[in-house]
A and B are shown apart, each in its own frame.
Chain A
Amino acid sequence: MSEFFAMGGYAGYVWSSYGIAAIVLFLNAFSSLRRHQSILHRLKRLESK
């Protein structure tokens, strides 16, 4: 298992690449979903006024 994480000496390079990609893609998904939710909530509030 530790051999897997060591990536033949390239651990820092490999895992930082995957980590940055994961963070950037997660942020995209998160902000898109949150925007959709907040628009729906805002329209709902406007409607009930």
Chain B
Amino acid sequence: MKRSVKGGLWLWFHKMASPAYFYDVAGRLIPWCVIITAILLLVGLIGGLVFAPADYQQGDGFRIIYVHVPSAWMSMFIYIVIAINSAIFLIWHIKLADIVARSSAVLGASFAFLALVTGSIWGKPMWGTWWIWDARLTSELLLLFLYLGYIGLRSAIDDRRVAGKAGAILALVGVANIPIIHYSVVWWNTLHQPASVSKFDDPSIHLSMLIPLLSMALAFKLFYLCIVLINSRSELLEQEKRNQWVKKLVAEL
């Protein structure tokens, strides 16, 4: 029994890694993905902008949290996804892993950019400055540069396999920055406030403020899934255009 489950899982894994099958499944997932993203976004925005009470210190200014924190989380999450897929690509040469990594980079950079910009806009009224060179802000800026370096490196190399390998190595070296971002507010003295959500035993944030935040975070995650599915499909079409399944698909258009 145990063996057949494992076999089934392995079979599924192989099926998913087959381009034609992935293209088909991704195409069917996208509409659901869009619907769920829209619902979560609506719940998060209404909850965050209307129902959550004003903060006792920051007034309504704290509402920037609902775009800032999910963006910052996503910038790290997507980087980790890229790093994991890079490792899979380097070790097992699974092409789909490279496609997922490549398809994630621009949105990851966008989230890093948003985390920095909304943080800056939030910092001005609360800290009195747009920017300080502290560990949290500097390591997040480094993350944006890692994304841009990754995108630039890949597009500078014509050979797809070499570009994938070079990108994967860069992504894996840069992953050291992720724990630095996360712990920067603990290790170094800073204006940036410490984590208030990830202390699950005693989160220092009220439920009416927390629920919209989690809803926005999930919405951003689902949005990323939509984008990565669309981009991976584009990438598959490009790479497999000489294969039978793409020809058949195009002929049926």
Instruction: Mark A residues whose CB is within 8 Å of B.
Output: 4, 7-10, 13-14, 16-18, 20-21, 24-25, 28-29, 32-33, 35-36, 39-40, 43-44, 46-47
Contacts and interface: CB of A to CB of B under 8 A. Distances in A.
A36 B166 CA distance: 25
Interface stretch (B53-61, B146-154, B185-193, B195-203): B53-61
Nearest to A7: B60
B93 interface: no
Given A7-B63, A14-B61, A33-B230, A28 B106 contact: yes
Contacts of B230: 32-33, 36
B162 interface: no
B101 interface: no
A1 to B, nearest CB: 11
12 contacts: A7-B60, A7-B63, A9-B59, A10-B63, A13-B125, A21-B71, A24-B113, A28-B106, A28-B227, A32-B230, A33-B230, A39-B238
B231 A32 contact: yes
A7 B117 CA distance: 19
Given A18-B67, A43-B237, 5 more contacts: A13-B61, A13-B64, A14-B60, A40-B237, A40-B253
Interface string B94-119: 00000000000011001001100110
Ranked nearest first, the 9 interchain pairs of A and B with the lowest CB-CB distance are A8-B60, A10-B61, A7-B60, A8-B59, A21-B67, A17-B118, A32-B230, A36-B234, A43-B250
Contact of A17 (B59, B67, B227): B67
A35 B232 CA distance: 11
A21 B253 contact: no
B161 interface: no
Contacts of B68: 17
Contact of B234 (A4, A20, A32): A32
Interface of B: 49-50, 54, 59-61, 63-64, 67-68, 71, 106-107, 110, 113-114, 117-118, 121-122, 124-125, 223, 226-227, 230-231, 233-234, 237-238, 241, 246-247, 250-251, 253
A28 B122 contact: no
Contact of A16 (B121, B241, B246): B121
B118 A29 contact: no
B159 to A, nearest CB: 20
Nearest to B250: A43
A34 B68 CA distance: 27
B121 to A, nearest CB: 5
Nearest to B219: A25
Contacts of B250: 40, 43-44, 47
Nearest to B103: A32
